[in-house]
Amino acid sequence: MGLREFDYGPLVSVEGGSEETIRERKRQWNELRPLFMRTRMVSQAAGSSYIEAENSKVICSVSGPLALTGGRTEAIERAKISCYISRTKFCGLEDAELEKRATTEYEGILCRALESIVRVEQYPKSTIEVHVLVIEDDGSTLPAAITCACLALADAKIELRELMACCSVAYANGQLLLDPTLGEAEKAKSPRFCPLQQARRGYLSLRCPILC
């Protein structure tokens, strides 16, 4: 368990308070956590994928291209990408307000990132829906969601310009930490970076600071 303890309601408090020392990072500053990635997780969806980075688990499914409904007039020559990010109630984040704010912002980031790699002009008058579920959150779930969404789009055979991978970096105690866990990201007092990198062409977008 990271910083966040289980919350048992207002009637009881956690023994010894809620401060907990962060476990010493066992890997190098520039080492990723052990990764597991798989596509075809949801056979009913057009495309789907799953990423697990030690304790962060994210699943994504893509539907589309679907016909655009309603009398929309804007952007008919290009596909519209809609992203929805949900979290399980037990994913590890407690503050409901923080979750709500961050989710809308994350959906926007995800949409913009995907719009630049999907060949939207190949799918006029349609919409592509990307649904992400964060099952367990131990830091770097937005980068995992972006990578997962890209894999799911590829699995759905939607035309992409190239593949995209994403990773975050935290700056804590004068030290850069790649792929920070929730505890490490909390400790980072300085702005955090979240570079998105395309396979060959270089950086797609950089954000600093970001709530990761």
Partner 1 sequence: MEVKVFERVHPREYFNLFSEKGIRPDGRSLTGSRKTAVRVGSIRTALGSAMVKCGSTTMLCGTTAKVINPTGAKVEFAPIDVNVELLPLCSAKYRPGRKPEESYHLQELVAQHVRRLVQPSSLELEFEDMMWSLSLDIYCLEDDGNMDDATLLVAMAALKDTRLPEILSSEEGYHVTKSRTRTVDFRELIVPVSFGVVDSRVVVDPDSSEEALCESKVTIFVDEKGSFRGLSKSGGSVTSKDLLSTCSKLAVQRAPALFSQLSN
Q: Which residues bind partner 1 (CB under 8 A)?
A: 1, 4, 6-9, 11-16, 41-45, 55, 57, 59-61, 63, 82, 84, 86, 88-92, 129, 131-133, 135-138
- Nearer to partner 1 by Cβ, of 3 and 163: the residue is 3
Minimum distance from residue 5 beta carbon to partner 1 (Å): 8
Looking at residue 80, its amino acid is K
Minimum distance from residue 125 beta carbon to partner 1 (Å): 19
Query: In which order are the strands placed within the sheet that holds 196-198?
Result: 164-166, 196-198, 203-205
- Nearer to partner 1 by Cβ, of 12 and 174: the residue is 12
How far apart CA 75 and CA 65 sit, in angstroms, is 15
Give first-to-last CA distance, the chain, whole Å: 18
CA-based angle 4:7:9, to the nearest 5? 155
Minimum distance from residue 100 beta carbon to partner 1 (Å): 16
For residue 133, give the DSSP letter.
E
Minimum distance from residue 163 beta carbon to partner 1 (Å): 21
Number of Cβ atoms within 10 Å of the Cβ of 123: 21
Beta bridge partners of 178: 169
- Nearer to partner 1 by Cβ, of 86 and 122: the residue is 86
- Nearer to partner 1 by Cβ, of 63 and 140: the residue is 63
* 3-state class (DSSP) for residue 163: coil
Minimum distance from residue 210 beta carbon to partner 1 (Å): 22
- Nearer to partner 1 by Cβ, of 92 and 143: the residue is 92
